[in-house]
Amino acid sequence: MDTIVYSFSGLAVLLLLGKYIRLKVKLFQRLFLPSSIIGGLLGLIIIQILFYKVRTDKLNEVIKIWMVTPGFLINIVFATLFLGKAIPRLKTIWNHAGVQLIYGQTVGFGQYVVGLGIVMILLVPLFKVNPMMGALIEIGFEGGHGTAAGLINTFKNLGWQEGNSLALGSATIGVFTGVIVGMILINWASRKGKTEVLEDPKNIPEDELIGIPLKEKRRKAGILTTSVESIEPMALHIAFVGLAILVGFLILQLLIFFENKVLTPTGFPVIMHSFPLFPLSMIGGVIIQIIVDKVDKKGILDYNTMQRIHGVALDFLIVAALASLSVQAIWNNIIPFLVLMIVGIAWNIFCVTVYAPMIFWNAIFERSIAEFGQSCGVTATGLVLLRVVDPEHKTPAIEAFGYKQLLHEPILGGGLFTGASLPLIHNYGPLSIFFFALGMVAFWQIFYLVVFYRKKKEYITKNKTKVE
């Protein structure tokens, strides 16, 4: 019992210390660094570095609990993504975010292409690394800390347990890169006249920097959709989250059963036993929400309440994951790890500066900088960067970005392909998955040329005529 108390209370203390440090350190405010990351890194420094050799048995037990905690919390994070919000029609999503989806998919699958490419060409021959390292850019950058932590059992089942620490390290570098390089790109774009609307980053109000809004600017956390006499509204929402996770779990069991009875006897390698639950928890959430949309006439699910549950789970997940991260695993692979990170960062910058102008025809930088923030690990970072360049949402970037997530996240950034990528690489080899990812990048470019290229030309011609 005392171990559980120490585990939970320890995470709470680290989270509070992270918030306090953010209040006091201007640099962290300017970087919009989440308190959970600060607290997690603080725990990492204290427990895993400074006191690594003098840790007590009790502390080691606490760390063991922290190591398995993210694997459960990530299911809550993904189950809440679409709960409480009506699922729009596919046509509506496509009309608002078709090109944005092409961009996001290209960036995501491109991270596999460059990651697996550099691993096969350089890192395996020179450093004898595990070929699955080629997936760490997408898992850490596009997926973030939640996805990286949620794959702990997958890494373990595939015999590469240190890959989980490398993935978390990748996600941490991604967060810092998203903000630092993102701000550099914003200043570059403003000087080059590539922004349609721009707010000077220096003019961001202090209350937003410290993360404690003024009372008159504070948003409601959610609404009470039921009377507390009948059921506590938060309990109701958490119950639906649990139901979504259960649906995802049953889907996973059906897939494992199908694999065991149909695929494995015919020679197919075992994949589903290493497939994580959290992408299917997201699918479970979508299924539950579709049913709720059809049968619920009173609106008992509130999206903002679901987002609070999502946020709580994610904050504690990040603290636990970072505080229990293995520094030794990263140090043992430091050179190939840094090479991989540099390649991933370069690819994301290339997409903003070169690829985005090739496919977008309006709000080019605004659309791409939001994707840059997300493709470095955190959707919130993308929204922060977008807020700097388009504070009043005068461009269509925010709408396109939001709608695009509905089609993008079930696939990448913690979606089905992200979850399957490690067992696929393990069973079919990095070359096969490299060509598959390359094929997906090519597919989206051809799709763009067939469906959207004419629209871009028409838009350019129309606006050129207006100017003349």
- State which residues of the chain have pLDDT below 50: 466-468
DSSP secondary structure, 416-450, as one string: HHHHHHHHHHHHH-HHHHHHHHHHHHHHHHHHHHH
Cα–Cα nearest to 140, from 461, 353, 418, 384: 418
360, 368 in Cβ contact below 8 A? yes
pLDDT of residue 216: 66
pLDDT of residue 466: 47
Handedness of CA 219, 40, 5, 161 (dihedral sign): positive
pLDDT of residue 301: 92
pLDDT of residue 96: 83
284, 247 in Cβ contact below 8 A? yes
pLDDT of residue 139: 95
278, 77 in Cβ contact below 8 A? yes
pLDDT of residue 366: 92
Using the structure block, give the residue that is written with the tokens 């067939």: 450
pLDDT of residue 234: 93
pLDDT of residue 111: 98
pLDDT of residue 228: 85
Q: Locate the domains of the chain by residue range.
A: 2-204+223-467
